[in-house]
Amino acid sequence: MDGIEGASNPTMEEMQANGTGGVDELPLTSTSTRKNRPIVSGEPLDIEAYAGLYTGRTKIKRLMFIANHCDNPGMQLEALRMAYDEIKKGENTHLYREVVQKIDGRLGPNYAMDAAWCSTIERKAELRKEKLESELNAYRTNLIKESIRMGYNDFGDFYYAHGALGDAFKSYVRTRDYCTTSKHIIQMCLNAILVSIEMVQFSNVTSYVSKAEQTPEALDPPTVAKLCCAAGLAHLEAKKYKLAARKFLEVGPELGNSYSEVIAPQDVATYGGLCALASFDRTELKNKVIDNINFRDFLELVPEVRELINDFYSSHYASCLEYLGNLKSNLMLDIHLYDHVETLYDQIRNKALIQYTLPFVSVDMRMMADAFKTSVVGLEKELEALITDNQIQARIDSHNKILYARHADQRNATFQRVLQTGNEFDQEVRAMLLRSSLLKYDYNLRASRKH
């Protein structure tokens, strides 16, 4: 690869097969350890460890999502078995029937339909609902706002436990008229956000995050972290990856495991890291991700994501793409990320291709193909698309397999600037001489006397 004339760009001989040289290394990983560290293997997802990160309904839904999208029969049955056990701890007979139908007798009699359990749960639910209704009617009669608020909250919890998410949302939102403190409003917003995420209604999530942020006096650090996570998920769902990255990067360490009914700290690192890689420029990646002390703590929980960010910033693209390739199968089993993996991967790869070509006047496409672990033909098609989209200013010598950058002609640009300056100077001189002549012959004075 030939450097630009007069610049100290790397030559082809100085290039490493893993990417371009001459960039700052990350402080997180030394050069000596980089070569020896293992690449994460593409092992199947450890479902038990994964499920242990979550609680409540999201744990069940994630397990069932894995069962629906995994090609490994063993993993499918393991996820269904854990989902079955988790559902039996609660009161959601609808989910129970769904998981039993999916198991279809493949796990033996212990995981067959338990009609007696369903009847017991549903009978208790009817009694519980009648009790809640009578209590709420009594509270309404007495006009005690706090009691009415608690009554609607209890109804929301009841409906949520039984899977009636629409009714749960309505009950939680009704508490708004009976909130007497800022903390009550925050609780109402968090409940509405939780149910909205479960119903995949992220417009409501955005709305109630905004409402909660309007009462800053009641927001403690863990609540702020939860709101950032919820907003990040909403932006991710809307494919606004840059906004999603910014929200996940704002999540403070106070989050811990306090939001396990929605998201785990490992998810914050994964979602935030991939969205940042796909949407941030090099400066933002350095300042907002690599130098972000709080986010670095999250990245320590997912070393693979930390390393691929390191590799991308250090222009070790082959290693970065290898990490991404190994992570892909597991990321496709994530209930929030699966629909965005392909788009994020394409954007990250395109950014890597663009950054690889930036420092050079010409690039040997054979060597570049080696760096990106692809064929020359495949690489040429990728570069053609980027050139057509005006993301790379270059042209391709298809015969010699060389990419030539379309750098500006500095000599011509300088000549044009000098010519323009000369024209401007000429106009200024002519205007000055004209003014001098007018003053010399008192033109303005004589014209005024005629009037």
In angstroms, the CA 141 to CA 258 distance is 37
DSSP, collapsed to helix, strand or coil, labels residue 405 as strand
% of residues, the chain, pLDDT over 70: 87
**Nearest by Cα to 299 from 260, 347, 251, 345:** 251
In angstroms, the CA 337 to CA 269 distance is 12
Average pLDDT over residues 37-44: 48
Question: Residue 233: which residues within 8 A CB-CB, separation 6 or more?
Answer: 197, 202, 205, 244, 262, 263, 271, 336
Contact between residue 405 and residue 362 where contact means Cβ atoms under 8 Å apart: yes
Residue 289: CB atoms within 10 A of its CB come to 21
Average pLDDT over residues 312-328: 87
Q: Which helix (H) or strand (E) holds 344?
A: helix 341-357
Q: Predicted confidence band at 407 (pLDDT cuts at 50, 70, 90)?
A: low
Q: Predicted confidence band at 95 (pLDDT cuts at 50, 70, 90)?
A: very high
Q: Predicted confidence band at 387 (pLDDT cuts at 50, 70, 90)?
A: confident
| φ, ψ of residue 200 in degrees (nearest 5) | 55, 40
Contact between residue 359 and residue 3 where contact means Cβ atoms under 8 Å apart: yes
Q: What is the pLDDT of residue 411?
A: 67
DSSP, collapsed to helix, strand or coil, labels residue 64 as helix
DSSP state of 337: T
Contact between residue 269 and residue 277 where contact means Cβ atoms under 8 Å apart: no
Q: What is the pLDDT of residue 281?
A: 87
> Does residue 245 carry a pLDDT above 90?
yes
The three-state DSSP-derived secondary structure of 267-309 is HHHHHHHHHHHHHCCHHHHHHHHHCCHHHHHHHCCCHHHHHHH
3-state helix, strand, coil in the chain (%, to 5): 70, 5, 25
DSSP, collapsed to helix, strand or coil, labels residue 396 as strand
DSSP, collapsed to helix, strand or coil, labels residue 364 as strand
